[in-house]
Structure 1
Amino acid sequence: MALARTEDMESLVGSSGSGEPVFAGGQDPWILGAGTADEWVVPRGIRQMASAGKKNVVLIGGRLAGTWTITGSEMRVTWLDGAGPDAPNGLSLQKAATAIFGDIAVVRVS
């Protein structure tokens, strides 16, 4: 089930996500709120990890796809099981990380 405000419905009908990565903190309401129980957002096998709120997450198309950490000037991204084929290419990931965090090198862990 998806929820939206009535006044937003017309612009949402027929739209699609960009597929670009979204970097969210571990306490993000999208993951900790109602979305946690939605298997489309958080797959069953990783629900416990996601709902603990201790890891920063990468969302692709509104779905939990991985986790991220920053150490110094390096961002490490770890893709969750099943996220590999749908994960964005390295350029897209680097572009998004640079736009948010500035001069940072992205390292794909898995």
Structure 2
Amino acid sequence: MNEIPRGTRLYNEIKRCRSASERSNSTVKETLNILEKPIVYNKVRADILVQIATIVLLLYRAFAFIVKISMLFMKYRETQDPDIAKKLQAFEVPKAIRNIIQRE
């Protein structure tokens, strides 16, 4: 097994992807309880389970984003706080949601 030298471009790219996939797997397993005790008889069922988990994770993140922004708008409307206005102006759309918007 060849090891990729640390500090190279390929190593950093693999490391970035790994942490993202571990966060996704952790969310699907612990928060959404989809992969807690999966019953998988063959590869086709495993593929279907992964696709369902990915769709649910995407919806979970998108709705969490919508709720977060809606709560900020509601607080701003009630208080007219300039700090909340700054947060809303500087709020960055998460990369996963940005990719979906750009594809359409």
Higher gyration radius (CA): 2
TM-score of the pair, normalised by structure 1: 0.26
Q: Which has the higher strand share?
A: 1
Q: Which has the higher helix share?
A: 2
TM-score of the pair, normalised by structure 2: 0.27
Specify which structure has the bigger relative contact order, considering alpha-carbon pairs within 8 angstroms and separated by 6 or more residues: 1
